[in-house]
Structure 1
Amino acid sequence: MRQSPRCGAKTRMGTPCQSPAVSGRKRCRMHGGAEGSGAPIGNQNALKHGEYTREAKAFRQHVRELLKDGKEMLDDF
């Protein structure tokens, strides 16, 4: 156990982690060497929703202008 390679990831204290690395990996189980660690494939949190695309902004601006024109026409009556 003492001869096994060490993780070496930087801890909160700024010192290298002294835990043994997972076999076949460079990091310990707490710093990314565990099975299944890391971001999921096809991360759903990173999907774009399209609310701020050029077309969406132009559409919202057009709707605002139509509403403003409609209010002005109603005020003229």
Structure 2
Amino acid sequence: MVSTEVERYTEVDPADVPSAAWGWSKITPRTWHGVGIFVTLFLLAMLRGNHVGHIEDYVLVVFAVLVFAATVRDWWGRRRGWIR
């Protein structure tokens, strides 16, 4: 009898991507968390500059807080099992 369940294909085929045999073709959540922290620090580092007005500072801080909040939310959700 034929099964009605759909088989999920989650792995990368080494024929399509030769580096998949070494495990280099998958970006892990840990990588995204590192990128989120780096972007947050980069945005905050841009506060020091040669601009006179402080509107740019407010925008940079708001974006840094949003990126950091998204990174922490993803980290916390994955740790608790709310996000896969």
Q: What TM-score, normalized to structure 2?
A: 0.31
Larger Rg: 1
